Chain A
């Protein structure tokens, strides 16, 4: 089954404790993105990747890091989480570049992060 998986699905942590949210897709997609979703603000892009070792900042990259060492995996790293990073996070992948018109994005199930 074609899918994007994320782990963990739920995480409660404390300020400053480094964490990683994993994302993996089995569709051989080159393009992957991370989004955060906050009430009243919708989905905002954090980082995106066009291929292995090729990443770029989205609209809200501050406080986040990513890596793309393998095509299927695109982990999101919070080196020193803060309460303002409490949010719902989605990983997504697509066959074509993210901004291409007829290009379906496949979303992971989401990770609900709470930073105390």
Chain B
């Protein structure tokens, strides 16, 4: 069993749609990370959060530490949002990564 599970694995949306990506984890953590992997391969950090909600532009991340669940929402999706979104749970000496959600936003 993976320590971090994401769903869905693949997601195709029309431009303008509201998107939700879910992440559940089994390891004990204080904060969860959301990462974005661009089509060219580079990985950047989007959010680090330990409670409630964080917002950055059209991206919103929420977390429920007690339920060990986090969601990433994208409002008014745009083709430039097309990427792989990865949740990661730091614990012990390492990060545990989800397998990623590949998002394609069609114009």
Contact = CB atoms under 8 A, between A and B. Distances in A.
A9 B41 CA distance: 10
Nearest to A41: B99
A104 B44 CA distance: 9
Interface in B31-79: 31, 33, 40-45, 48, 50
Given A101-B30, A101-B48, A107-B43, A42 B94 contact: no
Contacts of A106: 45
Nearest to A59: B94
Contact of A43 (B40, B86, B90, B93): B86
Given A42-B86, A42-B100, A99 B43 contact: no
Interface residues of B, number: 26
A107 B94 CA distance: 14
A61 B56 CA distance: 36
A22 B98 CA distance: 26
A109 B42 CA distance: 5
B18 interface: no
Given A42-B99, A45-B95, A104-B48, A98 B90 contact: yes
A41 B3 CA distance: 12
A42 B97 contact: yes
Contact of B94 (A40, A41, A48): A48
Contacts of B31: 101-102
A42 B91 contact: no
Given A45-B94, A99-B92, 4 more contacts: A48-B94, A101-B30, A101-B50, A109-B42
